[in-house]
Amino acid sequence: MDGKEDGVAAMAATYQGFDPAAYLQYNYTPPGADFENKDSVLLWKMGCLHRAFTEGDVSGELLVDIGSGSTLYQVMSGCEIFNKVILTDFLEVNQQELKRWLRNAEDSALDWTPFLKHACMLEGRQPSAWTEKAARLRSVVSDVLYVERAQPWPPHRLAQVCASLKKMGFTLIRLEVYTLPQDMRVGVDDVSGVFFAKAMKD
């Protein structure tokens, strides 16, 4: 094995036995996903995504979400702009979880209704429109596919991300940073903040 193959094997071993249901319950229910807290990281993320998709400079026929995990919130605004959405992930258990929600299975691990309602509110619609958004999302997601993670992801710093985008021929449109409050820095993740970058290929 070369270094790349060793890295992939190590990464695969790390994720062996990953439980999407436990992950979703831990990270996407209160306190991790608190829709009553206007300063929560989840509302910040959904706001960033809503703005990115609705500012008028993003359009097309196909939206491909790379590394969806077992989550859907990241395409709830985009599904209104694109006519076709493809979700992808490295783990089959995550792909299966996404497919359960898409076929409206009773054993879906998380009720995405609060997320759909919030996405509707961001769009200026009544929360009751969430059923229409759910139907739209289910209708435009054409597939859930495997995507290879070629190597473990190293820790990223903002200077590195911006420099990499520029090197690859992207113009940075907007960069937003969210610093996690101390009471949110719990659990096993060594995370102090999240950044959102919107860039366009030159």
Compare 125 and 191 and report the one with higher pLDDT: 125
Question: How many angstroms separate the CA atoms of 106 and 98, rounded?
Answer: 13
The pLDDT assigned to 150 comes to 54
Phi–psi pair at 173, nearest 5 degrees? -90, -45
Render pLDDT for 38-62 as a digit per residue (tens, 0 to 9). 888 899 999 999 999 999 999 899 9
Spatial CB neighbours of 185, under 8 Å, sequence gap ≥ 6: 191, 192
The pLDDT assigned to 179 comes to 86
Domains defined along the chain, listed by start: 3-153 (3.40.50.150), 154-202 (no CATH)
Torsion over CA: 55, 145, 17, 107 (sign):
positive
The pLDDT assigned to 61 comes to 95
- Give yes or no for a contact between 195 and 175, defined as CB atoms under 8 angstroms apart: yes
Question: How many angstroms separate the CA atoms of 122 and 114, rounded?
Answer: 12
The pLDDT assigned to 194 comes to 84
